[in-house]
């Protein structure tokens, strides 16, 4: 090796460091563009973490007299709140922002390592494609809420399932339930993999599915708020979605639960959808069968895309899994594509890179503008008044579920 030339390991390490440091600085630039937290839920999460730090493990939750938590605590984001505590020691709002950056960077780390472990080349390109997923994805990626951790765990689960490592699948599934109420995603991922393995190899792969199911059950049982957490999990994952889709009157659902327009979905996921469609088409044209892990990603991505059409909140799952599908699909057909397209391959790659970069810049810029323009908690004056005039044990009546979240954190 000539002097000054870096070996492949050094190049890979340098690329990783560059991608992660760049992502970190970008997320900091977006997150700290304004003094307040984006959205309303992050104030609730910061308040819950502060409660745990001040009072320890909660045995009661009297602040919401007309909710599922009146008769028993059922924090479906338990570990998310516990992990946030060290970030809040000086300034809860700025600490929550920093925590959001750390969880988002961790998601990117897992995404890149997943691609590398599956022998996907040009990971920087696929990260750029992920960042092109539109301002709504970027906004949800920049809000201090546990869905970022949930996506990270879903990607980890995908890897352990496809590697047929039941212990890893069990652990991810169990830990997922302690962080977020979407821990059951491990079960369909394992089911999809088992179905693909049966169709392609005529063998029944039961261990990942068993491990995912057992992990979900273990997460339920070891949760500090078991058994009341079971009811909350059922309400959150089934009742809320059902009433949202049914258009039940008299219920104030968040805008994120509503369906997006088809035009919005196409704009947000244009490049991942184009690549996925192109690789599947090329695979059929070239007679090149997609590999088992790629077909599993296809079933996962298709499911998340379908859920996104019903409720826009699922875009944070649809985007990374569609990009994962595109990366794996292109990996499978790359040799055939380059042989037939020749020099045109570079031109197509250049156009996709340019388009992804342009869409990423737009999404990042719009998200930064939203965060920069976010005002303070609207009920902060009321919260400060309560802090000075109310006594411990007093009950404050609120007319909207959001009011509690904002007023509680306003007095921190």
CA–CA distance, 211 with 155 (Å, rounded to integer) = 16
Between residues 85 and 44, the one the model is more confident about: 85
Q: How many CA within 13 A on the CB side of residue 194?
A: 16
CA–CA distance, 340 with 342 (Å, rounded to integer) = 6
What is the tens place of the pLDDT at every residue in 187-240? 999 999 999 999 988 888 999 999 999 999 999 898 888 887 877 777 777 776
In the chain, % of residues over pLDDT 70 = 87
pLDDT of residue 12: 80
pLDDT of residue 320: 95
pLDDT at residue 130 is higher than 90? yes
pLDDT at residue 182 is higher than 80? no
pLDDT class of 400 with cuts at 50, 70, 90: low
Average pLDDT of the segment spanning 77-100: 92
Residues 6+ apart with CB under 8 A from 104: 23, 27, 141, 142, 148
pLDDT of residue 214: 95
CA–CA distance, 127 with 356 (Å, rounded to integer) = 10
pLDDT class of 412 with cuts at 50, 70, 90: very low
Residues 6+ apart with CB under 8 A from 75: 48, 58, 81, 225, 229
pLDDT at residue 84 is higher than 70? yes
pLDDT of residue 341: 82
pLDDT of residue 210: 95
Average pLDDT of the segment spanning 6-25: 84
What is the tens place of the pLDDT at every residue in 345-380? 889 899 999 999 999 999 999 999 999 988 877 777
Mean pLDDT of the chain: 85
pLDDT at residue 68 is higher than 80? no
pLDDT of residue 262: 76
Q: What is the dihedral of CA 177, 178, 180, 186, to 10 degrees?
A: -30
Q: What is the DSSP letter of 287?
A: T
pLDDT of residue 359: 92
CA–CA distance, 224 with 219 (Å, rounded to integer) = 10
**Phi-psi bin for 57: left (phi > 0), alpha (psi -120 to 50), beta?**
beta
Instruction: Give the total residue count for the chain.
Output: 412
pLDDT of residue 408: 41
Quickly list DSSP for 176-234.
HHHH-TTGGGHHHHHHHHHHHHHHHH-----HHHHHHHHHHHHHHHHSTTTTHHHHHHH
Q: Are 315 and 307 in contact (CB under 8 A)?
A: no
Average pLDDT of the segment spanning 289-307: 92
pLDDT at residue 116 is higher than 70? yes
Average pLDDT of the segment spanning 282-307: 88
Q: Mutual orientation of helices 8-31 and 92-117 as an angle, nearest 10°?
A: 150
pLDDT class of 247 with cuts at 50, 70, 90: low
Q: Mutual orientation of helices 147-162 and 207-222 as an angle, nearest 10°?
A: 150
């Amino acid at each position: 090796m000539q002097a000054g030339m870096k070996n492949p390991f050094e190049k890979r390490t340098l690329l990783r460091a560059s991608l992660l440091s760049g992502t970190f600085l970008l997320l900091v630039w977006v997150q700290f563009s304004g003094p307040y937290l984006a959205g309303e839920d992050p104030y609730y999460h910061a308040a819950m973490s502060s409660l745990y730090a001040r009072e320890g493990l909660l045995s009661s939750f009297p602040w919401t007299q007309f909710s599922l938590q009146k008769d028993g605590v059922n924090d479906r984001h338990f570990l998310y709140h516990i992990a946030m505590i060290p970030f809040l020691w000086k300034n809860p709002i700025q600490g929550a922002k920093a925590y959001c950056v750390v969880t988002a960077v961790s998601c990117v780390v897992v995404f890149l390592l997943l691609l590398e472990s599956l022998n996907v080349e040009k990971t920087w390109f696929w990260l750029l494609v992920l960042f092109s997923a539109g301002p709504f994805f970027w906004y949800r990626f920049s809000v201090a809420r546990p869905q970022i951790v949930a996506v990270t765990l879903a990607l980890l689960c995908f890897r352990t399932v496809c590697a047929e490592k039941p212990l890893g699948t069990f652990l991810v599934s169990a830990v997922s339930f302690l962080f977020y109420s979407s821990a059951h995603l491990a079960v369909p991922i394992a089911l999809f993999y088992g179905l693909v393995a049966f169709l392609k190899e005529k063998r029944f792969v039961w261990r990942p599915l068993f491990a995912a199911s057992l992990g979900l059950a273990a997460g339920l049982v070891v949760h500090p708020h078991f058994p009341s957490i079971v009811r909350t999990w059922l309400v959150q994952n089934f009742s809320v979605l059902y009433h949202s889709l049914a258009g039940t009157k008299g219920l104030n659902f968040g805008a994120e639960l509503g369906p997006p327009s088809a035009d919005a979905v196409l704009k947000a996921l244009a490049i991942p959808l184009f690549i996925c469609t192109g690789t599947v088409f090329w695979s059929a044209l070239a007679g090149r069968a997609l590999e088992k892990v790629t077909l599993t990603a296809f079933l996962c991505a298709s499911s998340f895309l379908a859920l996104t059409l019903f409720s826009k909140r699922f875009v944070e799952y649809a985007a990374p899994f569609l990009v994962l599908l595109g990366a794996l699909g292109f990996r499978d057909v790359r040799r055939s594509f380059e042989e037939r397209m020749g020099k045109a391959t570079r031109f197509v790659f250049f156009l996709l890179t340019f388009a992804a970069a342009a869409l990423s810049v737009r999404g990042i810029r719009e998200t930064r503008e939203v965060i920069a323009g976010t005002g303070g908690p609207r009920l902060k004056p009321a919260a400060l008044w309560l802090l000075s005039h109310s006594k411990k044990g007093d009950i404050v009546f609120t007319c909207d579920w959001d009011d509690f979240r904002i007023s509680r954190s306003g007095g921190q």
